[in-house]
Structure 1
């Protein structure tokens, strides 16, 4: 049973790591977007196409839109946008002994899915 507890802990820590990595990646992308949007707005102001106030609103609007957009995964379709996915944590006592092998397989599958999601996020 101690091995299963360690596996659950490792899976949890992997999930936390993936979430932290995704958050960092998203923040970097938003910073890049803000810089690019600001350059575009500055060029438009220099050409006299828009005012500085309009440029500020344009940059803010572009960043807000980017923050609101989220890729739709098959697991996220039933979750409201902007809401975090619930995480269910169970203790070793909650798991039936005969289902231990099945739980290990489920955890391995979840770890593989998280690794794939991390790879996908790194590519973006």
Structure 2
């Protein structure tokens, strides 16, 4: 959830992100055309929070994918029970993972980022 809020990336794009496509020096991750909903590759600018998370994960498991389980296997989906429980603990009703993307975009627009920049 934290990475989605920090980057506005879709769930499928999070779980297909490989270390090969994460440039920690330039603070950019690439969503490849195979994994992008639009079919067009795009760069994700990694803010401070996203970078901190990725740095913590870098040597956690020796796996091709950034987000993995302790089994060193790629994650394909969130644990929906955990997500629902986290929402309940936070007092949030009727909330879905994709809403994190909308929250990220809303924060940007409120801060003055033009809409066409976010698409």
Do these two structures clear the TM 0.5 threshold for a shared fold by scoring above it? no
Structure showing the higher helix proportion among its residues: 1
Structure showing the higher strand proportion among its residues: 2
Structure with more relative contact order (C-alpha pairs < 8 Å, separation 6 or more): 1
TM-score when scaled to structure 1? 0.27
